[in-house]
Amino acid sequence: MAKYNILIKPSAVKEIENIPRKDRLRIIQKIQGLANNPRPQGCEKLTGENRYRIRQGVYRILYSVSDRELYIIVVKVGHRQDVYK
């Protein structure tokens, strides 16, 4: 299986920087893991959108996958209460 390239939107980078360090490191590991498996166990496709969601504790990582060009775009990262708004 080919390895996917990961792109992170600038707004998502700012959201990641605002997360406490301990959780931030786990989130970064989850995002890096998407390069090998863009749809890991536990991911969910969001209804009405071409996006997926993975969980890391109380945080959610929303991303889009392009299988044709082999890249993943991380769109949003945040606390579960705020990320879907």
Mean pLDDT, residues 7-33: 96
Q: At CB < 8 A and 24+ separation, what contacts does 51-55 make?
A: 51/75, 54/30, 55/80
Confidence of residue 46 (pLDDT cuts 50, 70, 90): very high
Angle at the Cα of 12 (from 11 to 17), degrees rounded to 5?
A: 100
At the topology level, CATH places domain 20-79 in YaeB-like fold (3.30.2310)
Domain ranges of the chain: 20-79
Residue 73, Cα to own-chain centre: how many angstroms? 8
Q: How confident is the model at residue 1 (pLDDT cuts 50, 70, 90)?
A: low
Please give the share of the chain, as a percent, with pLDDT higher than 90.
Answer: 91
Tokens 């995002």 sit on residue: 31
